[in-house]
Structure 1
Amino acid sequence: MMQEPRRTPLPSGFLTRPIAHRALHDRAAGRIENSPAAIRAAIAHGYAIEIDLQLSRDGVAMVFHDETLERLTDETGFVSERSATELGQIRLKDSSENIPTLTEVLKIVAGQVPLLIEIKDQSLVMGPTDGRLEAATAKALAAYTGEVALMSFNPACIYHLAKLAPNLPRGLTTAAYDEESWAPLPPEACEHFRAIPDYDATLSSFISHEAADLASPRVAELKASGADILCWTIRSAAEETKARAVAQNVTFEGYLSPLPA
């Protein structure tokens, strides 16, 4: 019997261990974002890990940020046009590793550190989704026992996950939705999502908000109502100090965030 959707609290590990953005990547060292090497490095340092998911043509959750292959590989085209087997044979640029599946990453992490998973918007317009990536994610996580949480910019993804994985913590990735940066998303859509209207309806327990917009009154309102506040993406110790005046934890890259004593 399917469980009723409910608001599931964020585990404490997500509030105490800094979160390595796309894992602890360092291209010069051959650790590409979202790669197994970057994931192992984050584990070795004791950091929580943030990863991104895209969907293969045959319905497998792949750990990869972009919709297309060009930036991170020598291939071209959409991730969604390739099978999981094909994607798994594609070498990441400046690396000896290939694109991993979520299942492969879960075997590496194995509950050693918290894992924050961002479901990338498959509609590409922040609209309704078919639920295939959400279902693939829930299936891969069904037997996973480590600390894990799910989030997405697109509330439609979280609506699906509230039904598919009601026992897992869910949240919204949120932003100032600057109209120029988010083009071609229409201005009225930017205004809509800027207000974070879907927080309660999706039974979210946290947001991960754009660091430069942490002073937003809506963020303060959500925090006062009990939402946990994470943020993205911090790139220096000075930025981290400023962000922690509002956020309970940071998602960082490009430096080593201090771990709690």
Structure 2
Amino acid sequence: MSGRLDTNFLTARPFAHRGWHGDGASENGMAAFRAAIAAGHGIECDVRMSRDGVAYVFHDSDLHRMAGRQGAIADQDAAQLDRARLPDGGAVPRLSDVLALCRGMTPLLVEIKTDGRPVAGVATAVARDLDAWPDAPVAIMAFNPLVLRWFAGHRPRQVRGLVVSQQNKGPMRGWVERTLALWLGRPDFLACDIRDLPSPFAERARRRGMPVLSWTVRSPADQARAARHADQIIHELGHG
């Protein structure tokens, strides 16, 4: 953990998970991101890399569910992905488009997806886009601590978060994984599965001054639990 970086933007307002989607606005689409901004919320989004090294905002590893096409994101070049359409008719956004929409004012969480692939390519693509907004309230986060480690070495002033979940893991496996991930990634904050709270792991982080965000908050009960055991939420409350 680095005590030098400003992490206040992480707890200032809730984050809309994949944007404020529903009611005709697709997850991780520009309409959902505009709706989140209009509601005064921060934005959480997912990022993957095209075959030719462009960072796109998309959760799944393949296009089938959200774009109605066959093929993995990693096998498409930018020209192909620019032609893909989400269910609401909008394009699959580039990360650069979302950063421009936020204009350095809306807090943004960028979850980097790697699926076990080498991290340098997608991390470099994300960092290249972030370099255009050096003072924006943006954090990267990932399940893979090697993503955080890359940013610690190549872009050390970037706020970094470790995404963690204990689901479908035994106590010992979870403890070993989290301990190793903390050492490798040196995160500035944690993003914890709401189902894991209350969590001694998260409580220790909070006692050390590390903010804890909780995902994905979908009900008043989840919200009440997060209010007791986390510092801010990544949510789908009120989504259509």
CA contact (8 A) 2:197 2:226 kept: yes
Q: Which stretches of structure 1, 4 residues or more, deviate above 6 A after TM superposition? A: none
Q: Report the Cα distance in structure 2 between the residues aligned to 1:99 and 1:254, rounded to whole angstroms.
A: 23
2:134 maps to 1:134: no
**Larger proportion of helix:** 2
Q: Report the Cα distance in structure 1 between the residues aligned to 2:121 and 2:4, rounded to whole angstroms.
A: 22
- Measure how far apart 1:30 and its partner are: 2.0
- Measure how far apart 1:192 and its partner are: 3.0
Two-structure CA RMSD over aligned residues (Å): 2.1
**SS in structure 2 of the partner of residue 178 of structure 1:** coil
2:107 maps to 1:110: no
- Measure how far apart 1:6 and its partner are: 5.3
- Measure how far apart 1:11 and its partner are: 2.8
Q: Report the Cα distance in structure 1 between the residues aligned to 2:188 and 2:89, rounded to whole angstroms.
A: 38
What residue is the counterpart of 1:51 in the other structure? 45
Alpha carbons of structure 1 residues 51 and 85: separation in structure 2 relative to 1, 3 Å: same
Q: Deviations along 1:88-133, whole A, 9 cap, x unmatched?
A: 110112x120101101111111123100110012416xxxx24100
2:198 maps to 1:215: yes
Alpha carbons of structure 1 residues 140 and 150: separation in structure 2 relative to 1, 3 Å: same
- Measure how far apart 1:18 and its partner are: 0.5
Q: Runs of 5+ in structure 2 lacking a partner? A: none
Q: Report the Cα distance in structure 2 between the residues aligned to 1:219 and 1:162, rounded to whole angstroms.
A: 21
Q: Report the Cα distance in structure 2 between the residues aligned to 1:8 and 1:58, rounded to whole angstroms.
A: 35
Residue identity over aligned pairs, in percent, reads: 33
More deviation, 153-162/171-180: 171-180
What residue is the counterpart of 1:259 in the other structure? none
What residue is the counterpart of 1:16 in the other structure? 12
Alpha carbons of structure 1 residues 84 and 36: separation in structure 2 relative to 1, 3 Å: same
Q: TM-score, normalised by structure 2?
A: 0.92
Q: Report the Cα distance in structure 1 between the residues aligned to 2:201 and 2:175, rounded to whole angstroms.
A: 13
Within 5 Å, give how 1:31-70 maps onto structure 2: 31-70=25-64
How many residues in Structure 1 have an aligned counterpart in Structure 2?
A: 238
Q: Runs of 5+ in structure 1 lacking a partner? A: 181-186, 257-261
